[in-house]
Structure 1
Amino acid sequence: MIFREGTTISLIGFDSAWTDSPKAPGAISVIRIDRDGRRTFVPPTLVSFDQALAEIKAEATFSALRIVALDQPTIVPNHTSLRPVDRVAASLISWLGGGVQPANRSKIGMFDDSAPVWRFKEMLKAVEDPEASRTVQKGLFLMEIFPALALPSLDAAFCGRLLGPRYNPARRKTFMLAGWQAVIASVRRRAVAEAVDGLADWADHLAAVEVPRKADQDRLDGVLCALIGLHWHTRPRSQSIMIGDRTSGYMIAPASDAVRARLEKAAHLVGVPVDLDAPR
């Protein structure tokens, strides 16, 4: 493989939308880091699972190391109820005023044996070892993330009882334009703080949308996924958390001190490991 000059890492955010409906595609976005540390933004596009596979494959022409941060459960062995990691995440998300959709094999089209996510993983052929992805220089890696779990650490304004933003336009009863604008503003601040070329301008254009649609939120979540991947790969390990394990299911997320304390307490109560694979 001949790589284009200068780029070595691609943090690929993929909001899959869980099913593969043409009427409700997911979104994919990329942050690239070159050999000089410069970070550039590839705006999100709406994609099916197959289109996402093609985008991820094409990214190999830019980078030796590709890390896919997927907003969808990647390990679902349970046939009913919630995964243990979902219970831990729900303890924080419910405090913020939101909810966690149960992931189990009975959900047809999402996690049954023929669900598109399993074909996606099979075709992707990525290594699902988040800790290893932090220390290598090449390869293709996959990790499960959850933007709602990340937001209270990415922006302290969202960390508090019922302070989680309601920014999904498809949920008309709960959607709040102020929450939508707050998430975009948070992304813009992260763009500046992380020096990601092009991301602040993209956020400004999105903020100008007067009536956001579900597709706009999918694009925004795709960008959040990429930012979570960037945080995981570039920030000190102590600023992130891995809840659960690679047998029963896990999630990777940024973790402020306040968020970490809540998640660790909840994990202890239900016997879920935290940072099981982290270097000691």
Structure 2
Amino acid sequence: MSVVGTTSIIGFDSAWTDNPRAPGAICTIRIDRAGRRTLVPPRLASFDEARAAIEAESAISDLRLVALDQPTLVPNATGMRPVDRVAASLISWLGGGVQPANRGKAGMFDDAAPLWRFKERLGATEDPEASREAIRGLYLMEVFPALAMPSLDPAFDGRLRGPRYNPARRKTFTLAGWQAVIAAVRRQAVESRIAGLADWADDLARIATPRKADQDRLDAVLCALIGLHWLVQPRHSSIMIGDRIAGYMVAPASPSVRTRLETAAKACAVPVDPERRVTASASGGP
């Protein structure tokens, strides 16, 4: 992507429900007209607070992309979406799990779930491919930090090598996994030249006993990094699994991760990159 105007990439870990005692978290990576990137540090936020923050970015940026860590299209009444099955093939190999998304989950995806009100009031265009070519407007796409891990850091790319960094899961959480994710974020801060992110990561690493709220803030940053990768890196280094009817996910994709996901998608009859534009990009590749 060639930066023509200003861009805000907003990472939102919604926590799926609108529980005041367990809100999600939101952060922003801003890109100015000179291409300089700056982190707006993550903070806890409800759906309404997140929407207000996203709307406020319109006064700062021409283009806004919201990378949301929650299923955004859930047409199925029960079970898992096809894209969830594909993601689960990789996540389970890494040692984790995927929570199924269906309309039967009250408070998350039923007709009264806060997600639908959030999307309706936000009024964003949900078209990831179009966001790469846009120079203005508000776009939304679904992301999943766990799916991005083995591409963001090859140390996580291996059987049972996914990091265990959720403090709420006491039986599986490891401080080593927590620190490894923070270290991966810090490397991204340096490689992608995001002002303020390395210092923020260093502060987070000093927390001796992380809480779930700390992980939510970390996941919001990961969402924003996925969004940044999607916009500025060559298209072939990312993947879109599924479609905008049955549900999809966008993630960075190293060659080994892409191969594994494409194999699983073929077995599940799920499309991969169904709307990809194969055109030369300013970032150096298709």
Answer whether contact 1:7 1:62 (CA < 8 A) is retained: no
For residue 3 of structure 1, what is the aligned residue in structure 2? Answer: none
Aligned-partner Cα distance in 2 for 1:7–1:266: 38
Where does 1:133-212 land on structure 2 (aligned, <5 Å)?
A: 133-212=131-210
- 1:2-27 deviation line (CA, Å, top 9, x unaligned): xxxx9610000000000000011000
Match of 2:62 among 61, 64, 69: 64
SS of residue in 2 equivalent to 1:209: coil
Listed as ranges, the matches of 1:236-247 within 5 Å are 236-247=234-245
CA contact (8 A) 2:5 2:135 kept: no
Residue in 1 that maps onto 2:283 = none
Which runs of 5 or more residues in structure 2 are unaligned? Answer: 279-286
Q: Compute the displacement of 1:95 (Å).
A: 0.1
| Aligned-partner SS, 2:158 | coil
Contact kept? 2:8, 2:29, Cα under 8 Å: yes
Q: CA RMSD in A?
A: 0.8
Q: Aligned AA for 1:262? A: R
Aligned to 2:108: 110
Q: Percent identity?
A: 72
Q: Report what 1:37 is aligned to.
A: 35
Q: What's the offset of the Cα at 1:209?
A: 0.4
Q: Give a deviation string over 1:238-263, Cα, whole Å, max 9, x none.
A: 00000000000000000000000000
Superposed structure 1 runs of 4+ greater than 2 Å apart: none
Q: 2:255 aligned to 257, 266, 280, which one?
A: 257
Question: 2:145 is aligned with what amino acid?
Answer: P
Partner Cα separation in structure 1 for residue 30 and residue 263 of structure 2: 35
Contact 1:86 / 1:100 at 8 angstroms: preserved in 2? yes
Name the aligned partner's letter for residue 164 of structure 2.
R
Cα shift at 1:61: 1.0
Query: Normalised by the size of structure 2, how large is the TM-score?
Result: 0.95
Q: Give 1:28's aligned residue.
A: 26
User: Would the aligned equivalents of 1:145 and 1:252 in 2 still touch at CA under 8 Å?
Assistant: yes
Among 14, 17, 24, the alignment partner of 1:16 is 14
Structure 1 unaligned regions, length at least 5: 1-5
Q: How many residues align?
A: 275
For 1:26 and 1:80, locate their aligned partners in 2 and report how far apart those are by CA, in whole Å: 25
- For residues 150-171 of structure 1, give each alpha carbon's deviation from its aligned partner in whole angstroms, at most 9, with x where no partner exists: 0100000000000000000000
User: 1:54 is paired with a residue of what secondary structure?
Assistant: helix
Residue by residue over 1:29-62, the C-alpha shift from the partner in whole angstroms, topping out at 9 and shown as x without a partner, is: 0000011110000000100000000000001111
In 1, Cα distance between the equivalents of 2:157 and 2:191? 19
Paired residues of 1:29 and 1:226 also in contact (CA < 8 A): yes
